[in-house]
Structure 1
């Protein structure tokens, strides 16, 4: 049975039982505790936590999940995947243990002809929580599982919580006996490899308190409703129904391994080491594709870092298996073919996915090349020092700073006749992980207590009238101050005001919240921010400027006309920039974030290369052409499917409801899903002036622009600047670029000439410096601070000249200077000095410690840089001490 059919049968089973089918949420959710969705119940957390009321009593979903805590373990075991699909059914107070158990058993054991999975019931085992007699009795008396196949486990295994205070409860897990060839007899307690867990049923009826770990917390009470949360692993069920040994041999992952065999020439199943690499490729390719699909791009922190790490592990593994050149496109295309039946949106976004993955591969191959050169330098230094080992800190620096994988370092070391201090490397890695874990724990936040707003979310959602008007009459439903409901507040107080209706736009979709004021018979208040809770209640953050405000009062809510006008210009301008950008760069340039505030817009997009001046000019002209055309701006409310059929663009990572709002500017010119506020005609945006383009991370660029009068102000200032330059240069404005280029060329030539004269002067002093040398332990020492401004390159030239003048005698030369904030230094030793046991690396190390820097190189020549000029004198003394102790 193919995986997409397993998914379909699961969904149909529960839909037929009256469950609402809920599409998978994005892998990226706005959750302070999670980088990615890591369990099927995560999108339903607000319902379980009591923050929101679910729109259905029972639901079913097949949720995309990613877990990355143990990336290094992937492939070593055959059961661990970073990406997996969790099929689940959920009840929010509708049914409990009996129905959950019977529903699961029915699907598992029902014949294939009748829509089930056809598992032999005699091979299914179950576990229950230690004292859950009720669940055990249901399994035995009502379902018919023999008592000897029902086992009891403790809290660590059969009690579920989210790891933070909140809903929890005992669970019951269903296992499949794969046979004696997979391990010993005795049920899941005896061997959880032979007995594979396929489904976990959580009976969520309690609330846990503070605590750490799976079993170190207190049960503080019962929930108002008893809920059900179950999770069936699609990949594990596919493994069993397809009769294969492990998840890597199923229809979703085996084709990737087969393609990797073609690319590398290696064979899966030949060695354990190679098998791990093949599995890494298969697993990470699928996870990487799904992360890119949901809008993640490679970066150096957070989600981007995880994606980058996965993609680079693919490239590294392919290389170690024997691949040469680029492999990513072929591997990713194989994943596309296996996953598209379940996720049709992959095909729609394939070009963007391919571009991101291939771009990261090209970048990493360059990293591997530079890392190889660095390694060769370290290896040469180690051999020269008589060492047979690459130090652990060197291997760690290659890995951590330069992204060079440790196993490649070890492979290259072996080729050079060296070993790697792997113990030292892993010790440093452990320290880094400990720091990261501590930092993550420090940042980890519990769920904000939004229970105070619950009754308003459920019973009094705010009516938003701001699409059509700037002023409206409303009623104050509640006041919130310092996290508590209050009856009234006086002048000078800061409070949150909940109204029954409001014209104020709450911050969302990159558009800042409206500003304005609230007025009543006995008070006045300024509104400086508006936020949403549960997507239903508007919280007006206000300062009372006069009188006293109280719950139950009538109020006039008035949005600042100027603020709204300029905010609309910026938001609509963002849509024009997005459309123009895609015309110039193509469909792979996809929005990655935005900020719109009055007169200003910031637009982030996924793209690998810096934009040229011509591209920026074209984007600006196309956007302003749309302004000049005076397109009509229309908004359409429809279903998500209909919006997609219309060609409307959606934001990756955004979760849309059943009804969406399409903003259309000029028909096909721009059509996006957007809940923001826009102008009525594109001409109302006014001129758009692009300020520039920059990088905000690997693979992500940013365009900034002004709109309306802010654009006019910017262009006026630019005009005045050009006019001033024209006057100073005594040239018409169109000749200014050529004049500046000519002046710049003259200045560079003059600077070069000055530098040459300085070098000649310094070289002319070399004889004087050598003549003033001192002798330490029979070694001639020339250690001097040269005039400020001498850079590292010039120091090296002068040091080599001084060394040459000292001929065959044992001599040490060290020159340093203060060059801006830096303190460069160079050491040069004659062969005779090296023969006496001196090394340039030791010399620069001693000097560098005194000036807050470090350096390295070969025994005859080494250099470095520091930042503490006050230590130069002590550094020169340290050099002589090294020679004295040699």
Structure 2
């Protein structure tokens, strides 16, 4: 039975039993605790937690999943994969164990001719949580599984969570006995190679807190309703139904391995070490295509780094297998062909996916050539000196200067019989990050101890920002800081940080540069403001120089924003939103803002791309934006819930932190984006944009 048919039967079975059939969500998790979807239930998490009312009482899906925690085991075991598909059925307070258990048994054991998977009943074993007598009794009395094929296990094996705070609960797993040729008798507690897990039924009852590992976390309480979350690994089921030894040899991954064999001239099955590399290629090529298909681009941070690491393992594995030419395009094409029946969008987006993959292979080729030469020299020197460990400083230089992946250094050093000073490398990486953070913090705090700002925030609470509605605000001087220390007053010529109870000045943030202006007192004292920062959430600090008189704590003051600078920056910010929207229209959803700077008269818009943006695209974006400017659309801002913002299609930027209530800036009905910045009142005020 082909993978696409296994998926079709799953959805058809549960759809006929009152479940809403839900398409797979994107691998890009809509969850701040996750980079990528790592379980079939992730898209349904808000319903399990009671944060949102479920649209249906029960649902079924076949969800794309990426997990890289055990990436080094991929290809070396029969069970690990970085990409797989999790077929799941879910109940949101509708049914519980008494229904989930019989449904699972029915689908697994119903003959193939009758729409099931046709597994022999006497080959199936189950495990339950050690104190779950209810589940054990249901398996025995309701389904008919003999007691000797029901095994009890502890929290590490039969209690499920996503590994982060969220819903969790005891589970019951179904295993298939592949026979004595695969290992020892005794059930899954003895040998999980012979007894292959095919389905996990999670009885979602509790909410867990933060903690490490599979057992070291607190249970915070019960969920609003007892629910069901099950997961059947489609690839494992395919291996059983197709009669192959492991998940790498099924119809989809196996076809990619066959293509890799053709490209390298290495026959699969002829050499154990070569087989591992071929399996890595087969698995990682699928992961590559699915991630790029969902909008992830290779990068050095977050999910972009996950993709880059996966792709570079493919390229290096192919080269170690003997491939001399570029092969990523061929592997990606074969992957799209075999996965396209289940995911037709891959076929429609094939040109873009191929372009991204080929560009990354080109870039890595140069890195690999340069880095390998330097690493080979370091390895030779270490061996000549009788050292068994590569120094952390050398490895850091290789990573920092040449972009050579640390994980690749580990692999290549191990192949030469050397280890790496990982602690030294990570210490240097930490120092580098700390320096970068210190530089950013100094920009925010002016080198003052943040505790001084914390005291001002605790004393008077959050500063009231009035800048959306006015550019002049009367207030009280809450505090003054000079050279990092609090002072009661500051005289002419002094550079001073001024904190007011309320202000119209916009602090630098979200890509928008700070306002400038002047703070004046009734006696004529003037402080010219040239920078505004927010060193702590809720605190706005005006940085400037006293040019007349003496400013003192508790004095009444008027803050007046430089209106021309504000208007110029606001026009640039509105233009950035329009350019963002236009690029997404023309290049697709992957053209997502990765950074920006909105300054008087100019702006910079950053987004990831696999290659230089063609001039024709730049002109198309420019023309589209200027058409919107000429239409003179109203620019409005509205505060709403995150869900309301999603419902109206507002764009949010990954990596930004948003509260329960968000501010949505709209340019007519064309562009909507979550944003805390200031903007032009109408698109026509921006003028013309030239890219």
TM-score, length-scaled by structure 2 = 0.69
Question: Which residue does 1:515 correspond to in 2?
Answer: 468
Question: Which residue does 1:590 correspond to in 2?
Answer: 591
Question: Which residue does 2:169 correspond to in 1?
Answer: 169
- CA offsets 1:712-731 (integer angstroms, 9 cap, x no match): xxxxxxxxxxxxxxxxxxxx
Question: Which residue does 1:138 correspond to in 2?
Answer: 138
Comparing 105-114 with 127-136, greater Cα deviation is found at 105-114
Q: Which has the higher contact order (CA 8 A, sep 6+)?
A: 2
- The CA distance in 1 between the partners of 2:581 and 2:165, in whole Å, is 42
Question: Which residue does 1:604 correspond to in 2?
Answer: 606
User: CA 1:622–1:100 in structure 2 vs 1: closer, same or farther (change >3 Å)?
Assistant: same
Comparing 235-244 with 49-58, greater Cα deviation is found at 49-58
- The CA distance in 2 between the partners of 1:273 and 1:81, in whole Å, is 17
Question: Which residue does 2:28 correspond to in 1?
Answer: 28
Does the aligned pair in 2 maintain the 1:580–1:623 contact within 8 Å?
A: no
Deviation at 1:438, TM superposition (A): 14
1:393 and 2:394 aligned: no
Does the aligned pair in 2 maintain the 1:391–1:420 contact within 8 Å?
A: no
Deviation at 1:574, TM superposition (A): 3.8
- The CA distance in 2 between the partners of 1:333 and 1:93, in whole Å, is 43
Does the aligned pair in 2 maintain the 1:580–1:622 contact within 8 Å?
A: no
2:422 paired residue among 401, 423, 429: 429
Q: For residue 688 of structure 1, give the secondary structure of its aligned residue in structure 2.
A: coil
- The CA distance in 1 between the partners of 2:149 and 2:307, in whole Å, is 42
- CA offsets 1:456-489 (integer angstroms, 9 cap, x no match): xxxxxxxxxxxxxxxxxxxxxxxxxxxxxxxxxx
- The CA distance in 2 between the partners of 1:422 and 1:382, in whole Å, is 9
- The CA distance in 1 between the partners of 2:109 and 2:567, in whole Å, is 60
1:302 and 2:295 aligned: no
TM-score, length-scaled by structure 1 = 0.55
Does the aligned pair in 2 maintain the 1:631–1:683 contact within 8 Å?
A: yes
- The CA distance in 2 between the partners of 1:284 and 1:347, in whole Å, is 19
User: CA 1:277–1:113 in structure 2 vs 1: closer, same or farther (change >3 Å)?
Assistant: same
- CA offsets 1:11-62 (integer angstroms, 9 cap, x no match): 1222222122222222222434322111111222222233333222222222
- CA offsets 1:633-682 (integer angstroms, 9 cap, x no match): 999xxxxxxxxxxxx9999989xxxxxx9x999xxxx9888799999997
Does the aligned pair in 1 maintain the 2:575–2:686 contact within 8 Å?
A: yes
Say what the alpha-carbon RMSD is for the aligned residues. 4.9
Deviation at 1:157, TM superposition (A): 1.0
User: CA 1:10–1:609 in structure 2 vs 1: closer, same or farther (change >3 Å)?
Assistant: closer
User: CA 1:430–1:108 in structure 2 vs 1: closer, same or farther (change >3 Å)?
Assistant: farther
- The CA distance in 1 between the partners of 2:427 and 2:125, in whole Å, is 39
Deviation at 1:382, TM superposition (A): 6.9
User: CA 1:617–1:4 in structure 2 vs 1: closer, same or farther (change >3 Å)?
Assistant: closer
Larger radius of gyration: 1
Q: For residue 252 of structure 1, give the secondary structure of its aligned residue in structure 2.
A: helix
User: CA 1:602–1:404 in structure 2 vs 1: closer, same or farther (change >3 Å)?
Assistant: closer
- The CA distance in 1 between the partners of 2:167 and 2:68, in whole Å, is 24
Does the aligned pair in 2 maintain the 1:567–1:596 contact within 8 Å?
A: no
- The CA distance in 1 between the partners of 2:32 and 2:209, in whole Å, is 19
Question: Which residue does 1:238 correspond to in 2?
Answer: 238
User: CA 1:286–1:634 in structure 2 vs 1: closer, same or farther (change >3 Å)?
Assistant: farther
- CA offsets 1:256-299 (integer angstroms, 9 cap, x no match): 11111111111111111101100111111111111112222222
- The CA distance in 2 between the partners of 1:616 and 1:295, in whole Å, is 19
Unaligned runs of 5+ in 2: 434-458, 471-500, 507-536, 540-562, 637-648, 656-663
- The CA distance in 2 between the partners of 1:106 and 1:291, in whole Å, is 34
- The CA distance in 2 between the partners of 1:96 and 1:213, in whole Å, is 27
Does the aligned pair in 2 maintain the 1:650–1:673 contact within 8 Å?
A: yes
Q: For residue 592 of structure 2, give the secondary structure of its aligned residue in structure 1.
A: strand
Deviation at 1:142, TM superposition (A): 0.8
Does the aligned pair in 1 maintain the 2:21–2:60 contact within 8 Å?
A: yes
Question: Which residue does 1:68 correspond to in 2?
Answer: 68
User: What are the residue-to-residue correspondences of 1:280-319 with 2, within 5 Å?
Assistant: 280-319=280-319
- The CA distance in 1 between the partners of 2:101 and 2:24, in whole Å, is 23
User: What are the residue-to-residue correspondences of 1:38-437 with 2, within 5 Å?
Assistant: 38-164=38-164, 166-208=166-208, 211-219=211-219, 221-375=221-375, 377-378=377-378, 387=385, 392-393=390-391, 396=395, 400-401=399-400, 402=402, 420=416, 422-423=418-419, 425=420, 428-429=421-422
Question: Which residue does 1:622 correspond to in 2?
Answer: 623
Comparing 244-253 with 588-597, greater Cα deviation is found at 588-597
User: CA 1:563–1:139 in structure 2 vs 1: closer, same or farther (change >3 Å)?
Assistant: farther
User: CA 1:301–1:580 in structure 2 vs 1: closer, same or farther (change >3 Å)?
Assistant: closer
Question: Which residue does 1:815 correspond to in 2?
Answer: none
Does the aligned pair in 2 maintain the 1:526–1:542 contact within 8 Å?
A: no
- CA offsets 1:354-378 (integer angstroms, 9 cap, x no match): 1221111111111122124424654
User: CA 1:513–1:332 in structure 2 vs 1: closer, same or farther (change >3 Å)?
Assistant: farther
